[in-house]
Amino acid sequence: MIDLTKPLFALFPTAKWTLNGDTYAGLTWLSEDVAKPSEQELLDWVDPNAYKDKRAAAYPLIPDQLDLLYHGGMDAWKAAITAVKEEFPK
Protein backbone atom coordinates (compact mmCIF):
# COMPACT_ATOMS: atom_id res chain seq x y z
CA MET A 1 0.00 0.00 0.00
CA ILE A 2 1.53 3.30 -1.11
CA ASP A 3 1.62 6.22 1.33
CA LEU A 4 -0.17 8.87 -0.76
CA THR A 5 1.09 11.65 1.49
CA LYS A 6 4.58 11.19 0.05
CA PRO A 7 3.73 12.24 -3.53
CA LEU A 8 1.30 14.84 -2.20
CA PHE A 9 3.97 16.54 -0.10
CA ALA A 10 6.63 16.12 -2.80
CA LEU A 11 4.60 17.30 -5.81
CA PHE A 12 2.45 19.92 -4.09
CA PRO A 13 4.46 21.31 -1.19
CA THR A 14 2.30 24.42 -0.76
CA ALA A 15 -1.10 22.87 -1.43
CA LYS A 16 -3.80 22.50 1.21
CA TRP A 17 -5.46 19.11 1.53
CA THR A 18 -6.50 16.44 3.99
CA LEU A 19 -6.33 12.69 3.51
CA ASN A 20 -8.72 10.52 5.51
CA GLY A 21 -7.63 6.91 5.37
CA ASP A 22 -5.12 5.51 2.91
CA THR A 23 -6.90 5.73 -0.41
CA TYR A 24 -7.45 8.47 -2.97
CA ALA A 25 -11.16 8.49 -2.10
CA GLY A 26 -10.25 10.10 1.22
CA LEU A 27 -8.41 13.04 -0.37
CA THR A 28 -10.09 16.40 0.18
CA TRP A 29 -8.49 19.15 -1.86
CA LEU A 30 -8.64 22.54 -0.16
CA SER A 31 -6.40 24.62 -2.44
CA GLU A 32 -8.20 26.71 -5.03
CA ASP A 33 -5.04 27.85 -6.82
CA VAL A 34 -3.67 24.36 -7.40
CA ALA A 35 -5.58 21.69 -9.31
CA LYS A 36 -6.34 18.45 -7.53
CA PRO A 37 -4.08 15.73 -8.90
CA SER A 38 -5.48 12.53 -10.32
CA GLU A 39 -5.00 9.27 -8.50
CA GLN A 40 -2.81 8.01 -11.33
CA GLU A 41 -0.58 11.08 -11.07
CA LEU A 42 0.08 10.24 -7.44
CA LEU A 43 0.58 6.54 -8.10
CA ASP A 44 3.05 7.25 -10.92
CA TRP A 45 5.30 9.30 -8.68
CA VAL A 46 8.66 7.68 -7.98
CA ASP A 47 10.19 8.45 -4.61
CA PRO A 48 13.74 9.73 -5.28
CA ASN A 49 14.68 8.79 -1.72
CA ALA A 50 13.29 5.27 -1.79
CA TYR A 51 16.79 3.83 -1.89
CA LYS A 52 17.43 5.31 1.55
CA ASP A 53 14.64 3.29 3.16
CA LYS A 54 15.76 0.13 1.36
CA ARG A 55 19.36 0.64 2.43
CA ALA A 56 18.34 1.42 6.01
CA ALA A 57 16.38 -1.83 6.19
CA ALA A 58 19.23 -3.85 4.67
CA TYR A 59 22.21 -2.55 6.67
CA PRO A 60 23.39 -4.92 9.41
CA LEU A 61 22.32 -4.00 12.93
CA ILE A 62 24.77 -1.76 14.77
CA PRO A 63 25.91 -4.54 17.21
CA ASP A 64 26.59 -6.75 14.19
CA GLN A 65 28.54 -3.97 12.48
CA LEU A 66 30.63 -3.45 15.62
CA ASP A 67 31.28 -7.18 15.80
CA LEU A 68 32.31 -7.14 12.15
CA LEU A 69 34.72 -4.27 12.84
CA TYR A 70 36.22 -6.08 15.82
CA HIS A 71 36.72 -9.38 14.06
CA GLY A 72 37.23 -8.34 10.43
CA GLY A 73 38.53 -4.81 10.64
CA MET A 74 37.58 -1.79 8.56
CA ASP A 75 37.89 -3.60 5.23
CA ALA A 76 35.34 -6.26 6.19
CA TRP A 77 32.95 -3.61 7.51
CA LYS A 78 33.33 -1.50 4.39
CA ALA A 79 32.70 -4.51 2.16
CA ALA A 80 29.43 -5.28 3.97
CA ILE A 81 28.21 -1.70 3.71
CA THR A 82 29.26 -1.40 0.08
CA ALA A 83 27.31 -4.55 -0.81
CA VAL A 84 24.11 -2.94 0.47
CA LYS A 85 24.80 0.33 -1.33
CA GLU A 86 25.39 -1.52 -4.58
CA GLU A 87 22.25 -3.59 -4.15
CA PHE A 88 20.18 -0.41 -3.74
CA PRO A 89 21.90 2.30 -5.84
CA LYS A 90 20.82 5.95 -5.85
Partner 1 sequence: MSLLAVQGGATGTGTVSLVAPVTNTNRTLTLPDVTGTVAVQGGTGVGKVLQVVQGIKTDTFVSSATVTDTAVTGLTVSITPTSASSKILVFCNLSMTSENAQGGAPKLTRTISASTTQLSLADAAGSRSRGSFAGGGYRGSAAGYLLMNWNQNLTYLDSPATTSATTYGVQVSSISVGTYINRSGTDTDTSDFLRSVSYITVMEIAA
**Minimum gap (Å) between residue 20 Cβ and partner 1:** 4
Q: Which residues bind partner 1 (CB under 8 A)?
A: 1, 3, 5, 8-9, 12-22, 26, 28, 30, 53, 57
* Under 8 Å between Cβ of 30 and 18: yes
The residue among 17 and 80 lying less far from partner 1, judged by its C-beta, is 17
The residue among 69 and 84 lying less far from partner 1, judged by its C-beta, is 84
* Under 8 Å between Cβ of 47 and 81: no
Euclidean distance between CA atoms 17 and 11, whole angstroms: 13
Task: Establish how many alpha carbons lie within 13 A of residue 67's alpha carbon, considering only the half-sphere containing its beta carbon.
Answer: 5
**Minimum gap (Å) between residue 15 Cβ and partner 1:** 6
